[in-house]
Structure 1
């Protein structure tokens, strides 16, 4: 057990102490992240969202205090709206999710309405992809899949597979009007969409990484593209 783990106090108490110390006059504060979802690990940090109507502009800061690595996201009562909008446009609702799941630390009467805004956005889901966007995504997945199939260089295959996993997971989620993610949130987003499919997706890539067998990935990608017309190369143009 590391020194930081030994010195850690209970996460909500640490969040209270941190907020009282650094933002005593804020109008609202939430504790979010993995500790709230019950998914914390030995390296988890605290995510704290602060609302202060007197703040001129939003900022993010990383600090160590009370035995915890703390990520603090500081907003006034209008800046968070632009972050909500930008997060939803890129289909990665980081701030809305933190606000929605967050546990109240301080509330001067503003948190309920902000949470409702976040919940409404999350429930709505991302904007539907246009037919043209789907066509472009099909082309780039097809191009990458061809590279993957044709490659005989193990080192290159690994990184092609990584990119293919990102593009294909994005395609599945966005064509189903679901939120996407990066890093660990790729598989979490897939599981939020469909547990069985997520297991199938992970198994296909895990099989390749362990054995070098590409077939499960190839079959899966073709199955995903098939309802949208399958692989796309012949006749595709962009900017013509």
Structure 2
């Protein structure tokens, strides 16, 4: 069944009181696969029971991920997207298709946030990323063969995140890490993909982003601890 039709049916059956319902995710794009699910954001009237919650279910043969909010919880979770620079809920709202109700204002605000990009990293955040990547490169140089592949994979992923962070771009989890790299710089994304499994190539990319950020950082790195 058509995913939009299924979502309308689900909304009418499970959320007749909804202010709006948005279908999001790859199911509506060229990235759709046989395993794509229905990512559905639901806004309920203030004071409704059952919000906020995330729920997984099957409906009419489809795997479904529900993200159910009222206005206060939606604002809260949208705000939680920003410090980690992973705007998952913003993307779902901004890029999804409204199947019932009027979400125009909410979608416009989410799109503005995505277009503006994340807040610049402060010095402490920059230093933490530089230190972590420097430490990984040290491990990569000295790890025994059995461990080197694990360290290399981890360094490969952290290099992508560091590149996005230092170029003031949103980052992402899983497939969204590659999608954000492609949005930032398709040629760099291709180089990053090609480096997978090659320790020298991963090291080269990591050193490249460290140079962009001011170079490796070890001596002098200091973080104050917290008292229990």
Q: Is the structural similarity TM-score above 0.5? A: yes
* Cα deviation, residue 132, structure 1: 2.4
* Cα deviation, residue 73, structure 1: 0.8
Structure 1 CA distance, aligned partners of 2:152 and 2:8?
43
Q: Is the Cα contact below 8 Å between 1:204 and 1:217 reproduced in 2?
A: yes
Structure 1 CA distance, aligned partners of 2:44 and 2:31?
28
Which of residues 229, 233, 238 in structure 1 aligns to 2:214?
Answer: 229
Q: Which runs of 5+ in 1 are unaligned?
A: 1-8, 209-213
Q: Is the Cα contact below 8 Å between 2:20 and 2:99 reproduced in 1?
A: yes
Q: Is the Cα contact below 8 Å between 1:14 and 1:66 reproduced in 2?
A: yes
Structure 2 CA distance, aligned partners of 1:239 and 1:62?
40
Structure 1 CA distance, aligned partners of 2:72 and 2:109?
12
Q: Report matched runs for 1:178-197 at 5 Å.
A: 178-197=169-188
Q: Is the Cα contact below 8 Å between 1:63 and 1:71 reproduced in 2?
A: yes
* Cα deviation, residue 139, structure 1: 1.1
Structure 2 CA distance, aligned partners of 1:94 and 1:235?
35
Instruction: Show the counterpart of 1:201.
Output: 192
Give secondary structure in 1 for the equivalent of 2:224.
coil
Q: Which moved more, 1:229-238 or 1:138-147?
A: 229-238
Q: Which runs of 5+ in 2 are unaligned?
A: none
Q: Is the Cα contact below 8 Å between 2:159 and 2:205 reproduced in 1?
A: no
Number of residue pairs matched by the alignment:
223
Instruction: Show the counterpart of 1:50.
Output: 42
Which of residues 54, 65, 81 in structure 1 aligns to 2:59?
Answer: 65
Instruction: Show the counterpart of 1:211.
Output: none
* Cα deviation, residue 134, structure 1: 1.1
* Cα deviation, residue 41, structure 1: 0.5
Which of residues 103, 106, 122 in structure 1 aligns to 2:100?
Answer: 106
Q: Is the Cα contact below 8 Å between 1:36 and 1:101 reproduced in 2?
A: no
Q: Does 1:89 align with 2:83?
A: yes
Q: Is the Cα contact below 8 Å between 2:17 and 2:45 reproduced in 1?
A: no
Instruction: Quote the RMSD (CA, aligned, Å).
Output: 1.5
